[in-house]
Structure 1
Amino acid sequence: MTDSNPLVPALANLLVDVVWWLESCGDEEVDPDSAVKMMESVGGVLLRLPSDQRQQLLRVLGELAEAEQDPARREFLESFPLSIGMVEDEES
């Protein structure tokens, strides 16, 4: 990974894991409305990051996806920026 601060990839991994868990939980584990509110909150915080920090996070997420061995988690890492609202769909 190109990031010299090991905290950034660690926190990015943690953030992705929490959002993945929220998306995959059944209604009996987490209230769907609460899960949506939490994911919207995460997306809002990420959108308020300064542009250079957002770009750094996007780069780290890309590096994590490239290094990921689990195909399902790699796919989630690749789709994370779009699904959380950090980037726009290029096809729109």
Structure 2
Amino acid sequence: MNPEPLVRAIVAAMMLMEECGPEEIDPDTAVRGLENMGYEILQLSRDDRGELLELIERMARDSDSHTADFLRALPFSIGMVDGLPPESGGEAD
């Protein structure tokens, strides 16, 4: 199975919840949805996480700058990677 379309769908849903205003999606609902999605992603095995991180980086290289920034920050924002995203001035572990 090619996981890229599935990951793109998940990322699109996460971007939608992150970027919609309160008149489109209730903020509490959006946060709960993002937290639930992040929790499920964190259930991946160590090897699967590594593959996902590689896929996210490949997708980021092929995306517009806004989507690429979101993709590269995603592992940090859900707690998959410790630290701060490199573009935020922090150091990733």
How far did 1:52 drift?
A: 0.9
2:32 counterpart of 1:40:
no
TM-score, length basis structure 2 = 0.84
Structure 1 ranges of 4+ moved more than 4 A: none
Name the structure, 1 or 2, with higher relative contact order (CA <8 Å, separation 6+). Answer: 1
Question: Between Structure 1 and Structure 2, how many residues are aligned?
Answer: 86
In the alignment, what sits opposite 1:85? 79
In the alignment, what sits opposite 1:71? 65
How far did 1:84 drift?
A: 2.0
Deviation string for 1:54-80 (max 9, x for gaps)? 111111001100111x11111111111
Query: How large is the Cα RMSD of the aligned pairs?
Result: 1.4
Give me the whole-angstrom Cα distance separating, in 2, the residues matched to 1:17 and 1:85: 19
The letter of the residue matching 1:14 is A
TM-score, length basis structure 1 = 0.85
The letter of the residue matching 1:71 is S
Give me the whole-angstrom Cα distance separating, in 1, the residues matched to 2:23 and 2:41: 28
In the alignment, what sits opposite 2:45? 50
Give me the whole-angstrom Cα distance separating, in 2, the residues matched to 1:48 and 1:77: 19
The letter of the residue matching 2:6 is L
Q: Give me the identity figure in percent.
A: 36
How far did 1:81 drift?
A: 1.0
The letter of the residue matching 1:66 is R
Task: Could you tell me which runs of 5 or more consecutive residues in structure 2 were left unpaired when the two chains were aligned.
Answer: 85-90
Give me the whole-angstrom Cα distance separating, in 2, the residues matched to 1:67 and 1:45: 25
Task: Could you tell me which runs of 5 or more consecutive residues in structure 1 were left unpaired when the two chains were aligned.
Answer: none
